[in-house]
């Protein structure tokens, strides 16, 4: 993933990988701890977590950062988690690669595709279907579309800033289950029409 240090929209696709393909989660306890720490670090830095997915050896995120605080938030998150993980597992040394990867998302289409890509990570890796994988924000996005604000508040992501891009829960699901090479063409046509409508609105 190319590293770009500034985006005009504030949206970034971020990935933090274990060094040498090191597993960064060994248990559900590890995953819950990472999520809670991620929420605290991003909230303190005023960085919005739009989408997330925890895999065995990496974390995939879409973040919204208007104040250029993302680097500090990510450094605090990764260093703190690594110390706790090492202490718990008896290992030493670096857990994550020296730099996390980030790519600027400068258009609506890029933001939508990044959210789709993050949620599709386990399916692309042959681990589980998007809608059945428990360690991503896919279900949190669906709850927000359903109007369940209480659940959304308790979640780890805030999808509200991208809801209008997809338009409805049905469109979000269809787009999420489509493929970047043109799968689900009916959904792609619907998205194209919506983007054109906004361009001329």
pLDDT digits (tens, 9 = 90+) for 168-180: 888 888 888 887 6
Question: If DSSP codes are grouped into helix, strand and coil, which group holds residue 132?
Answer: helix
153: nearest Cα among 72, 18, 23, 49: 49
- Alpha-helical runs (H) found in 28-154: 28-44, 70-89, 108-124, 138-145, 149-154
Dihedral over Cα of 153, 156, 160, 164: its sign: negative
Asked whether the beta carbons of 84 and 103 are under 8 A apart, the reply is: no
Q: Which distant-in-sequence residues (6+ apart) come within 8 Å of 90 by Cβ?
A: none
Taking only the tens place, the pLDDT of each residue in 152-200 is: 456 799 888 888 888 888 888 888 888 765 455 444 454 454 445 445 4
Residues 11-199, CATH architecture: 2-Layer Sandwich (3.30)
166's enclosing H/E stretch is helix 163-166
Taking only the tens place, the pLDDT of each residue in 74-101 is: 999 999 999 999 999 999 999 999 889 9
Give residue limits of the domains in the chain. Answer: 11-199
Taking only the tens place, the pLDDT of each residue in 17-68 is: 999 989 999 999 999 999 999 999 999 999 999 999 999 999 999 999 998 9
């Amino acid at each position: 993933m190319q590293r770009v240090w500034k985006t005009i929209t504030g949206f970034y696709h971020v990935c933090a990988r274990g060094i040498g393909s090191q597993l960064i989660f060994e248990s559900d306890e590890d995953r819950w701890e990472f999520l809670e720490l991620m929420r605290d670090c991003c909230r303190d830095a005023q960085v919005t977590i739009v989408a997330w997915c925890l895999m065995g050896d990496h974390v995939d995120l879409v973040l919204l950062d208007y104040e250029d605080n993302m680097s500090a938030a990510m450094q605090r998150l990764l260093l703190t988690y690594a110390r706790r993980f090492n202490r718990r597992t008896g290992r030493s040394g670096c857990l994550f690669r020296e730099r996390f990867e980030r790519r600027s998302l400068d258009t609506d289409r890029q933001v939508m595709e990044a959210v789709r890509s993050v949620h599709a990570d386990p399916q692309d890796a042959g681990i589980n279907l998007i809608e059945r994988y428990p360690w991503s924000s896919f279900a949190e996005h669906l709850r927000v579309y359903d109007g369940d604000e209480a659940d959304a508040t308790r979640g780890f992501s805030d999808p509200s800033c991208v809801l209008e891009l997809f338009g409805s829960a049905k469109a979000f699901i269809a787009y999420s289950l489509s493929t970047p090479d043109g799968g689900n063409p009916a959904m792609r046509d619907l998205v194209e029409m919506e983007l054109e409508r906004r361009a001329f609105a």
